[in-house]
Amino acid sequence: MNKELIAALELLEKENGISKEIMFTAIEKSLMDEYKAEFDKADNGHVVLDRVTGDFHIYADKLVVEKLTEVDGDDENKKIKERRIYSKEITLDNARKVDPKAEIGDVITIEVKSEEFSRKAAKNAKNVIVQTIREQEKNSIFKEYKAKEKEIITGVIQRIAENGDMTVDIGRIQTILKAEEVNVGRKLKVGDRIKLYVLSVVNREKSGISVRVSRKSPELVKKLFEEEAAEIKDGVVEIMGIAREAGSRTKISVRANVPNVDPVGACVGISGGRVRNIVNELGDEQIDIIEWDDNSAQYIVNALSPAKVVAAEADDDAKKAKIVVSEQQLSLAIGKSGQNVRLAAKLTGYGIDIKSEADDEALYNEEDDSDFEDLDFEADIEVEETP
Total domains in the chain come to: 4
Q: Is residue 313 part of a domain?
A: yes
- Domain co-membership, 166 together with 264: no
Q: How far apart are CA 325 and CA 312, in angstroms?
A: 9
40 phi, psi to nearest 5 deg? 55, 50
Q: Is residue 145 part of a domain?
A: no
- Domain co-membership, 227 together with 339: no
Half-sphere exposure of 276 (CA within 13 A, CB side): 5
Q: Among 110, 138, 166, which residue terminates a domain?
A: 138
* CATH value at residue 103: 3.30.1480.10
Q: How far apart are CA 237 and CA 259, in angstroms?
A: 10
Q: How confident is the model at residue 71, as a pLDDT?
A: 62
Q: Among 292, 321, 337, which residue terminates a domain?
A: 292
- Domain co-membership, 40 together with 53: yes
Q: Is residue 149 part of a domain?
A: no
Distances (CA, A) of 368 to 143, 316, 363, 372: 59, 17, 10, 9
Half-sphere exposure of 107 (CA within 13 A, CB side): 7
Q: How far apart are CA 38 and CA 57, in angstroms?
A: 16
- Domain co-membership, 200 together with 233: no
- Domain co-membership, 329 together with 346: yes
Host domain of residue 227: 217-292
Task: Specify whether the CB–CB gap between 170 and 148 falls below 8 A.
Answer: no
- Domain co-membership, 338 together with 362: yes
Distances (CA, A) of 240 to 252, 289, 293, 299, 313: 8, 11, 10, 11, 21
Q: Is residue 144 part of a domain?
A: no
The helix/strand/coil state of 290 is strand
Query: What sign for the dihedral angle of Cα 141, 143, 147, 149?
Result: positive
Q: How many residues does the chain have?
A: 387
Q: How confident is the model at residue 80, as a pLDDT?
A: 53
Q: How far apart are CA 2 and CA 317, in angstroms?
A: 76
Distances (CA, A) of 225 to 139, 229, 234: 31, 6, 12
One-letter amino acid of 231: E
Q: Is residue 134 part of a domain?
A: yes
Q: How far apart are CA 16 and CA 154, in angstroms?
A: 21
- Domain co-membership, 278 together with 359: no
Give this prediction's pTM.
0.71
One-letter amino acid of 27: I
What is the enclosing helix (H) or strand (E) of 232? helix 230-233
Q: Among 292, 323, 356, which residue terminates a domain?
A: 292
Task: Specify whether the CB–CB gap between 355 and 307 falls below 8 A.
Answer: no
Task: Work out the number of other CB atoms within 10 angstroms of the CB of residue 141.
Answer: 19
- Domain co-membership, 14 together with 106: yes
Selection from 26, 81, 36, 17 nearest residue 56 by Cα: 26
Q: How confident is the model at residue 343, as a pLDDT?
A: 97
Q: Is residue 60 part of a domain?
A: yes
Cα torsion 330, 332, 337, 340 to 10°: value is -110
Task: Specify whether the CB–CB gap between 104 and 65 falls below 8 A.
Answer: yes
pLDDT one digit per residue (tens) for the chain, 387 residues = 567 777 877 887 887 777 888 888 888 888 788 777 776 666 788 888 888 887 777 888 889 998 887 666 555 555 555 455 556 888 898 889 989 999 999 999 988 775 656 566 667 767 777 787 788 788 888 999 999 999 999 999 999 999 999 999 999 999 999 999 998 777 899 999 999 999 999 998 777 899 999 999 999 999 999 999 999 999 999 999 999 999 999 999 999 999 999 999 999 999 999 999 999 999 889 999 999 999 999 999 999 999 999 999 999 999 999 999 999 999 999 999 999 999 999 999 999 999 998 774 545 454 454 444 333 434 344 434 433
- Domain co-membership, 23 together with 55: yes
- Domain co-membership, 173 together with 247: no
Task: Specify whether the CB–CB gap between 319 and 377 falls below 8 A.
Answer: yes
Q: How confident is the model at residue 305, as a pLDDT?
A: 94
- Domain co-membership, 381 together with 258: no
* CATH value at residue 335: 3.30.300.20
What is the enclosing helix (H) or strand (E) of 268? helix 263-268
Strand ranges in the chain using DSSP code E only, listed in sequence order: 45-49, 56-65, 89-91, 107-112, 152-160, 166-169, 174-177, 193-204, 208-214, 237-245, 249-256, 286-291, 309-315, 320-325, 351-356, 383-384
- Domain co-membership, 16 together with 130: yes
Please state whether beta strands 351-356 and 383-384 pair in parallel, antiparallel, or not at all (unpaired): parallel
Task: Specify whether the CB–CB gap between 174 and 135 falls below 8 A.
Answer: no
Task: Specify whether the CB–CB gap between 179 and 168 falls below 8 A.
Answer: no
Selection from 168, 165, 359, 187 nearest residue 282 by Cα: 187
Q: Is residue 373 part of a domain?
A: yes
Q: Is residue 21 part of a domain?
A: yes
